[in-house]
Amino acid sequence: MVTTIVQGRREKHRWSREALTDAFVSFLSASWRHSDIARGHPPGDPQGAAELAAQYVEMRNQLTRLRLLSTPDVLTAGEALLRTHRRIQDAALPAQRDTALLAASEGRRVVVSAAKKDMGLD
């Protein structure tokens, strides 16, 4: 009986860790794709705007998963990065977009640091 309970807890912990890792990777992958698309299309380009919007939605969906699985520090970092990506999309001038892209790069570093801390990988 005790073995069954302990195994159940281990399985739940393993599932949570795998789900959290998957959410982190998916969130950051969408962030990278979003930035790559922004670099490849000028502000105001309709095709680029549609592609950016799709990646933004993916980031938002993954952030919902992170809300369920991670700590407040990760959530705060993820929300800040998502807001930065909104600035990338809304940039009217290339210089504004470049500034936001630099901020997104730093934001990803903050998310990774918070995620590693959350997962005990520091």
Mean pLDDT per 10-residue run, the chain (122 residues)?
60 78 95 98 95 97 93 96 97 96 98 90 76
CA dist 31 → 7, 8, 103, 105 (Å): 36, 34, 12, 9
- Report the domain count for the chain: 1
Q: What is the pLDDT of residue 113?
A: 95
pTM for the complete prediction? 0.87
CA dist 1 → 6, 7, 8 (Å): 9, 10, 11
**For position 76, which CATH number holds?**
1.20.120
Across 55-65, b (16+ Cβ under 10 Å) vs e yields bbebbbebbeb
